[in-house]
Amino acid sequence: MQGIKKFIPTEKKVAYINALLKVGFDTLDMGSFVSPKWIPQMADTAEVIKKIDVSNSASKLSVVVANMRGAEDAVQYDAITYVGFPFSISETFQQRNTNGGLEDAYETVSKMITVCNTNNKIFIAYLSMAFGNPYGDEWSVDVAQKWIRKLQQAGIDYIMLSDTIGVANEQSIEYFFKNITTLFPSIDFGAHFHTTSTTWKQKVESAYKNGCNRFDGAIKGFGGCPMAKDDLTGNMPTENLINYFAEIGEETGINAIAFAHAMILANDIFPQPIIADHYKPK
């Protein structure tokens, strides 16, 4: 929702998230504790958390934060399990996204981990621009490994490898998940792919065949990071993920009827999808 300029009413967000809580997802990324000056759409996250009904759902809730104040706010809510922070290996993007450089972000992460541990929350790092960046900043597998090692030393157990601008391909994804996961066996890596209608399947397949079992998705594929560049690169469509794993015979635990209802609500909330080739129930 963060890239939609027209404010979505709080009650509509609550109804949508309540519908998603019945689908059977492991985790729902449901809001952000960030400055409303930069992401006005997320200004009501605290209110949304208070109004959603988690009593009959096994899904865990995740939020994104951009600084210590956001982390300190987020950990106050019992319903939240995960606190995520966009840690970019691109200096330019880190400046654009959190108004501070990589070293500043690393210090912030270290403090956030302490706050999360103290409050029984799990910290997740979204390794933004993990597969390249559009700014000409230095990028290589060695650069990625350097920062992953530092994050591990800070105490991180969960990292989502994020293809923030949709540049990852089968080869780079295979290399990352085959080699990075071997180098850092204690870290639970996942895939946060942005993609196009013609490349989504190759990305999922390459990651899954090389050991990835955590995938982020967004219904209809709408979204992207508004801080990355002017045009939003679509997120991985959740319906495509569901279809892919159904086709290869993997059980996802998704309730098809509840998901169909959530899709109806999504059609009312989101503009036309960026990603085509969406899941069509058989």
Q: What pLDDT does 275 receive?
A: 44
Q: What pLDDT does 192 receive?
A: 95
Please answer whether residues 201 and 240 qualify as being in contact, where contact means their C-beta atoms are separated by less than 8 angstroms: yes
Residue 178 is given by DSSP the state: I
Sign of CA dihedral 144, 147, 153, 158: negative
Distance separating alpha carbons of residues 175 and 4, to the nearest angstrom:
34
Encoded amino acid at 57, one letter: S
Tracing tokens 């650069």 back to the chain, one arrives at 143
Please answer whether residues 85 and 65 qualify as being in contact, where contact means their C-beta atoms are separated by less than 8 angstroms: yes
Q: What pLDDT does 181 receive?
A: 87
In a domain, 279, yes or no: no
Distance separating alpha carbons of residues 25 and 217, to the nearest angstrom:
10
In a domain, 42, yes or no: yes
Give me 182's structure tokens: 């071997």
Spell out the residues 6+ positions from residue 106 whose beta carbon is closer than 8 angstroms to its own.
Answer: 87, 147, 150, 151, 154
In a domain, 3, yes or no: no
In a domain, 200, yes or no: yes
Q: What pLDDT does 261 receive?
A: 96
Domain that holds residue 72: 10-269
Distance separating alpha carbons of residues 235 and 216, to the nearest angstrom:
9
Q: How many domains does the chain have?
A: 1
Q: What pLDDT does 115 receive?
A: 98
Judged on CB neighbours under 10 Å (0-12, 13-18, 19+), 73 is: middle
Distance separating alpha carbons of residues 272 and 239, to the nearest angstrom:
15
Q: What pLDDT does 282 receive?
A: 33
Q: What pLDDT does 155 receive?
A: 96
In a domain, 44, yes or no: yes
In a domain, 202, yes or no: yes
Q: What pLDDT does 277 receive?
A: 40
Q: What pLDDT does 225 receive?
A: 55
Task: State the 10-residue block means of pLDDT for the chain, 282 residues long.
Answer: 89 97 97 92 97 96 96 98 94 88 93 98 95 87 91 96 89 92 94 89 96 93 57 78 96 95 91 46 34
Q: What pLDDT does 114 receive?
A: 97
Max Cα–Cα distance, the chain, nearest Å? 50
CATH number at residue 201: 3.20.20.70
In a domain, 175, yes or no: yes
Rounded alpha-carbon distances, angstroms, from residue 229 to 3, 96, 165, 226, 232: 11, 10, 9, 6, 7
In a domain, 165, yes or no: yes
